[in-house]
């Protein structure tokens, strides 16, 4: 496996590192507050002005057509610099790859540039009270009317929905379990939004209530009834590389090792194990994007979510009660959700057993 970087890749790394060194803000308020959400939008706009918000996208949509290797380099530098989490991640990492694959040119032109500049921030509206990881069991419906559809139903645990401007989600357009789903894009202005308080009292999620919300035909992504197929493309992005690049975990592991430098040997060993695992995930990913190693999104999802939880749990052990006043605590609370969101790890292990290892159901 060739892990040497070309002169162009090294120059790209230097450019990104220098820009971040000059522009990364001090700690922003939580994006799960109105104040923090707006502060994070301003940071996204600054990134976009430097053509660094969506480096792998085509230039006409605000990117610079970076290769997968360059994208991984950007991510390594981004997280190593201490830059903020991405408030637009649902849009740029989940919806955008799906829009590139299934969206019409008009939809791409309408949404991608605004997404890159954080003028629109998208919420993921998939889970329902009786259908969490089992998307095919959802019951929210879309009924056909002249010129479009009326959306009815209830979504819950919709990420970023408390303050976002738009949402994307699946609605049932026929009773056929998998082939009766259609993928809709919609502004949230006509949707009832009920923020959900998290452990720390902030609102990173919300319930969405649809009571005959009209959506025109041009906001259907793909064809009616293709929702399941299109959603599987989105979940691959969610579980895989685009949402959780190795640079994020490597930066966390390196900070953890520094934090554990004066701890007892048992804690230092745990920190070293985390760094080794983060580096292993990094090497695996570089190999995967060079096409030399096989990889599945489900295996990666289980690995990074459990690594993230182990790293932050160790930070809690190292810091004790003082952790509550540090960013490590916010990270710990978020890491608790890792094995649950993007499809629970139990679901992922079933997928690995059946589709990767070929074990019987």
Is there a catalytic annotation at residue 238?
yes
Read off φ and ψ for residue 122, nearest 5 degrees. -105, 140
Q: For residue 168, what are the β-bridge partners?
A: 124, 185
Read off φ and ψ for residue 208, nearest 5 degrees. -120, 125
Residue found by looking up tokens 């989600």 in the block = 169
DSSP H or E stretch at residue 122: strand 122-124
Give me the catalytic one of 44, 75, 76, 238: 238
Distance CA 343, CA 235 (A): 8
Residues contacting residue 311 through CB under 8 Å, at least 6 positions apart: 249, 252, 253, 256, 274, 278, 335
Overall residue count recorded for the chain in this entry = 361
Read off φ and ψ for residue 162, nearest 5 degrees. -60, -35
Q: Can you read off the two tokens belonging to residue 124?
A: 């993921």
Q: Can you read off the two tokens belonging to residue 357?
A: 């290892």
Distance CA 95, CA 112 (A): 10
Read off φ and ψ for residue 152, nearest 5 degrees. -130, 145
Residue 108 CA from chain centroid, whole number:
19
Q: For residue 353, what are the β-bridge partners?
A: none
Task: Label residue 185 exposed, middle or buried (CB < 10 Å: 0-12, 13-18, 19+).
Answer: buried
What 275-279 contacts at long range (C-beta under 8 Å, 24+ apart), as own/partner pairs, is 277/253, 277/303, 277/307, 278/246, 278/249, 278/250, 278/252, 278/253, 278/307, 278/311, 279/250, 279/253
Residue found by looking up tokens 């005959």 in the block = 212
Distance CA 137, CA 128 (A): 9
Q: Can you read off the two tokens belonging to residue 208?
A: 């969405």
Residues with catalytic roles = 238
């Amino acid at each position: 496996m060739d892990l040497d970087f070309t002169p162009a890749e090294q120059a790209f790394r230097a450019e990104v590192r220098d820009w971040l060194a000059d522009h990364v803000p001090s700690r922003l308020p939580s994006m799960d507050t109105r104040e923090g959400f707006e502060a994070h939008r301003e940071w996204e706009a600054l990134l976009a002005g430097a053509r660094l918000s969506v480096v792998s996208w085509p230039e006409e949509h605000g990117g610079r057509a970076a290769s997968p290797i360059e994208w991984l380099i950007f991510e390594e530098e981004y997280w190593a610099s201490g830059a903020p989490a991405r408030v637009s991640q649902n849009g740029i990492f989940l919806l955008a790859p799906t829009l590139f694959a299934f969206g019409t040119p008009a939809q791409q032109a309408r949404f991608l540039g605004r997404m890159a500049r954080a003028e629109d921030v998208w919420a993921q509206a998939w889970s329902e009270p009786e259908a969490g990881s089992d998307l095919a069991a959802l019951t929210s419906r879309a009924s056909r009317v002249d010129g479009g559809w009326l959306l009815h139903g209830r979504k819950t645990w919709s990420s970023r929905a408390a303050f976002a401007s738009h949402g994307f989600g699946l609605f049932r357009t026929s009773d056929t379990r998998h082939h009766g789903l259609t993928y809709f894009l919609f502004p949230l202005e006509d949707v009832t939004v009920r923020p959900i308080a998290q452990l720390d009292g902030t609102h990173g999620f919300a319930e969405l209530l649809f009571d005959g919300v009209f959506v025109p035909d041009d906001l259907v992504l793909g064809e009616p009834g293709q929702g399941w197929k299109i959603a599987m493309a989105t979940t691959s992005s969610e579980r895989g590389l685009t949402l959780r690049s190795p640079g994020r975990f490597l930066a966390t592991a390196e900070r953890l090792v520094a934090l554990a430098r004066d701890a007892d040997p048992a804690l230092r060993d745990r920190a070293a194990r985390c760094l080794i695992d983060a580096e292993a995930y990094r090497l695996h990913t570089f190999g995967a994007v060079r096409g030399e190693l096989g990889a599945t999104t489900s295996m990666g999802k289980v690995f990074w979510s459990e690594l993230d939880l182990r790293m932050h749990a160790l930070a809690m052990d190292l810091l004790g009660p003082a952790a509550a006043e540090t960013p490590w605590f916010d990270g710990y609370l978020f890491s608790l959700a890792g094995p649950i969101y993007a499809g629970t790890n139990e679901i992922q292990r079933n997928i690995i057993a059946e589709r990767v290892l070929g074990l019987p159901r």
